[in-house]
């Protein structure tokens, strides 16, 4: 049932005239991929800054909750741009991506990373890190970085596993 539903969605995406402009023009896919990379840069850049602060390696003059408040809108903008442009990269050629192993792992890691970002990481960075044991901050940061960079590395691997 689910396989049939996915198959129909993939076929609709491929034959959709709404996305022909991306698939059939020489600049459509590169433009969307550029937007995707911009979103990834915003997302990973702000996440890296927050993790560096959580670990106590930098930005010590700024409280973590204040820094999180300043960066959170940029993080959310990066997430939104990355997800929206990622869907637009997928839609013009869904059969290429549907059978690609790294994209499946990327989607799994993305779901886990988003859940972790909102359920654990967001809560930790909005509180005072000095009140928790250092090893907990290190564990939260390590998990966050592994998830997000895992998503990025899997995204890069898509091109090598056709």
As a whole number of angstroms, the distance between CA 52 and CA 63 comes to 12
**Which DSSP string corresponds to 87-103?**
HHHHTTSHHHHHT-HHH
Evaluate whether residue 14 is within a structural domain. Answer: no
Evaluate whether residue 22 is within a structural domain. Answer: no
Evaluate whether residue 6 is within a structural domain. Answer: no
φ, ψ dihedrals at 130, nearest 5°: -70, -20
Evaluate whether residue 12 is within a structural domain. Answer: no
Evaluate whether residue 26 is within a structural domain. Answer: no
End-to-end CA distance of the chain: 26
Domain that holds residue 62: 31-90+97-160
The structural domain count of the chain equals 1
For residue 88, give every residue at least 6 positions away whose Cβ sits within 8 Å of its Cβ, in sequence order, or none.
Answer: 19, 22, 32, 35, 36
Evaluate whether residue 152 is within a structural domain. Answer: yes
What is the gyration radius of the CA atoms in the chain, in angstroms?
Answer: 18
Evaluate whether residue 76 is within a structural domain. Answer: yes
Mean pLDDT, 10 residues at a time, the chain of 162 residues: 75 73 81 93 94 90 91 94 88 77 92 94 83 88 95 90 74
Which pLDDT score is estimated for 24? 79
Which pLDDT score is estimated for 80? 95
Evaluate whether residue 49 is within a structural domain. Answer: yes
Q: Which residues of 44-53 are buried (b: 16+ CB within 10 A; e: fewer)?
A: bebbebbbeb
Which pLDDT score is estimated for 131? 77
Which pLDDT score is estimated for 74? 96
């Amino acid at each position: 049932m689910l396989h049939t539903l996915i198959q129909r969605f993939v076929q609709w995406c491929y034959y959709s005239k709404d996305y022909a402009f991306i698939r059939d023009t020489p600049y459509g896919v590169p433009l969307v991929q550029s937007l995707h990379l911009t979103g990834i840069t915003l997302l990973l850049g702000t996440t890296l800054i927050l993790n560096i602060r959580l670990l106590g390696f930098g930005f010590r003059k700024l409280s973590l909750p204040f820094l999180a408040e300043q960066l959170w809108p940029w993080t959310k903008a990066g997430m939104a741009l990355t997800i929206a442009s990622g869907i637009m990269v997928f839609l013009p050629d869904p059969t290429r991506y549907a059978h690609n192993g790294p994209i499946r792992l990327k989607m799994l890691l993305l779901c886990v990373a988003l859940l972790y970002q909102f359920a654990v990481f967001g809560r930790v960075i909005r509180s005072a890190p000095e009140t928790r044991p250092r090893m907990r901050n290190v564990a939260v940061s390590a998990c966050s970085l592994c998830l997000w960079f895992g998503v990025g590395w899997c995204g890069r691997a898509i091109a090598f596993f056709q």
